[in-house]
Amino acid sequence: MPITVRELLERPDLKTRLIAGAGGIDRVVTWAHVCELEDPTAWLCGGELVMTVGIGLPRDPAGQVAYVERLARAQLAGLMICEGMKAPPLAPEMLAAADRLALPVMLTAYEVPFVAVSRVVADANLEQEHRRLRQAVQVYDVARLVVHGALDETELIGRLERIVGARLVVVDPVAGRVAIPKSRTGDESVIEPVRQVVERYPAGQLPAVLQVSEAGAGTVALAVPTHRPMFLVVVPQRSPVPRDIVTLRHVATVLALALERERAERERQYRFGSELFAQLADGRLPSELALELLRREHRFPEPPYIVAAVRTTDRAVSELQDTLAALATPHVALRRDGLVYLLLPAAALTGLERAVVAGIGVSQPVRTLARVPEAMVEARWALERLADGQRVAHFGEGVLGAAHWPLSVEAARELVDRVLGPLETHDARHGTELLRTLATFLAHDGSWSATARALGIHRQTLVYRVRRIEQLTGCRVDRVSELATLYLALEAARALGRIAPAEPADPVLPGTRRAAAGRRSGVG
């Protein structure tokens, strides 16, 4: 049986006496640990006896009281101080706090080495070591079943909870969700306390064990070695409960194995979904077969669906999909032309808005999957038209209020072919850069000097090019309505993917007055 504080006090060879906290002398001592830190609890799991020569003990009464309170919250067995070493005078307030919290505070004679105390505790806890070994064998038997996919989430967490005798929850405090078990009610209450405790420590300096007393007396958290920062939260089902950090680390490793296995399966589904989406986008997959695959493999409901376009990084795509999966949002994703397209049920737009911080362009409803390529253009177009401060733009809504703005993909193609088609043909035949010149001219707000500098050409050369553009398009840059037609045609070409997207610094509309004035005066 594990030794208690009372039994340590009764051993004459240890020459130890109690000076406070008599109400806790029957506490079980799981281990004896020498620590000179001001906060030993960051490295302990509960049940340990802290031994110190006094270096880490605060000098002021308030600091000593806080020190004792930290030990009590961590459910340590007691505090043993070596007499005649480095300890400051113990304040009456500290001893009173120990009495109030029933935390044994002891003084050990100078001539008694701490290793003698550790040996007594270790010898008394041989049975505890056998119990730890049995638990390790049980935990890794669970690991074997996880590797073979023989346990579902409920069975996995149930077996591990029976082994350690505590409620177990794996949380992702950054995403604010429970990773395991997903379906049990009440586990969400531990997320915020864990997040608050994690934020107290600098990045990369988390202790091995986090004391999460805000989630309940004796609750601790350990890091789970996964690709995302997750934590195993251990909530005692009875008090006091001896917690063995070695066993809990084994449990965290098994849960990490289960999470990584689940992640590998999700990434397989992501890849399969991306390939399916690409075939739909390229018209290489019959709509009926695609609909069957979406229902069977990705749990899509019946149409209508939508296509959404967002700007994000490669790494963020996986995180976005993980978030949507955690929200139980069916979807497939495709990265193309610098954007991420998502095909998902129309009713799932709210979930997407929760998962995406940046702007979202949304297509018209997709009632047949044959319309996916057109819906992708619509989503891209809506994203291009996103106003400052706007999070979601729907295709066909709020299109600048321009009377001549094309309200369909076909109308956009017709506008681009009619206005910019002659420029594309001329560039292809003669190796010129008229289309690039027009885009640069409008991007620089119609400034002749700025455009010439950006293109690296003489201003007179630019004047010649712009006159050629006017001849081929039939639109003059010194007429507002015709300049607007050129601008809308360029924006439509960008939305259709015919030319590169505008840089973020590009203006929303060119300065037509300055362009016209420059055209007449010949200055930029």
Q: What is the CATH number of the domain that holds 250?
A: 3.30.450.40
The CATH number linked to 9 is: 3.40.1390.20
- What CA–CA distance (Å, rounded) separates 166 from 369? 49
Give pLDDT tens digits for 190-199: 999 999 999 9
CATH number for the domain spanning 481: value is: 1.10.10.2840
Six token digits for residue 21: 């906290």
Q: What is the DSSP letter of 40?
A: G
504 in the same domain as 421: yes
Domain end marker among 198, 229, 262: 262
What local confidence, expressed as pLDDT, does residue 502 receive? 59
**Is residue 15 one of the residues assigned to a domain?**
yes
| Ordered alpha helix ranges (H), 403-495 | 409-419, 421-430, 434-443, 448-455, 459-473, 480-495
One domain, residues 167 and 252: yes
Question: Of 343, 368, 394, which residue is a domain's last?
Answer: 394
Backbone angles phi, psi at 114, to 5 degrees: -65, -30
The residue whose two tokens read 């090019």 is: 465
Q: Are strands 31-34 and 48-52 parallel, antiparallel or unpaired?
A: parallel
pLDDT at residue 180, rounded to an integer:
92
The total domain count for the chain is 4
According to the model, what pLDDT value does residue 405 have? 52
Write down the mean pLDDT value for the chain. 86
Residue bearing the bigger pLDDT, 505 or 123: 123
Strands 305-310 and 220-225: unpaired
Structural contact between residues 309 and 379, judged by C-beta atoms closer than 8 angstroms: yes
484 or 513, greater pLDDT: 484
- Check whether 401 has a pLDDT greater than 60: no
- Give 49-64 as a 3 state SS string: EEEECCCCCCCCHHHH
Does the residue 136 lie in any domain? Answer: no
Same domain, 424 and 513: yes
- Domain, as residue range, for 356: 282-394
Q: Is residue 271 part of a domain?
A: no
Q: What percent of the chain has pLDDT over 70?
A: 91
| Measured torsion, CA atoms of residues 135, 139, 140, 142, in degrees rounded to the nearest 10 | 140
Task: Judge whether 96 lies within some domain.
Answer: yes
Residues 443 and 502 placed together within one structural domain of the fold:
yes
Distances (CA, A) of 383 to 79, 202, 309, 399: 63, 38, 7, 11
Same domain, 251 and 292: no
- Asked if the model's pLDDT at residue 511 lies above 70, the reply is no
Kindly state whether residues 23 and 70 are assigned to the same domain. yes
Do 245 and 288 lie in a common domain?
A: no
Residue 305 — pLDDT band, cuts 50, 70, 90?
very high
Instruction: Work out the pLDDT band at 1, boundaries 50, 70, 90.
Output: low
323-337, 387-401, 495-509 — most confident range: 323-337
Whether residue 216 lies inside any domain: the answer is: yes
Instruction: Check residue 524 and give its pLDDT.
Output: 34
114-128 tens-digit pLDDT: 999 999 998 887 766
- Which CATH number is 291's domain given? 3.30.70.120
Question: Model confidence at 315, in pLDDT bands (50, 70, 90)?
Answer: low
Clarify whether residues 69 and 170 are in a common domain.
no
In a domain, 269, yes or no: no
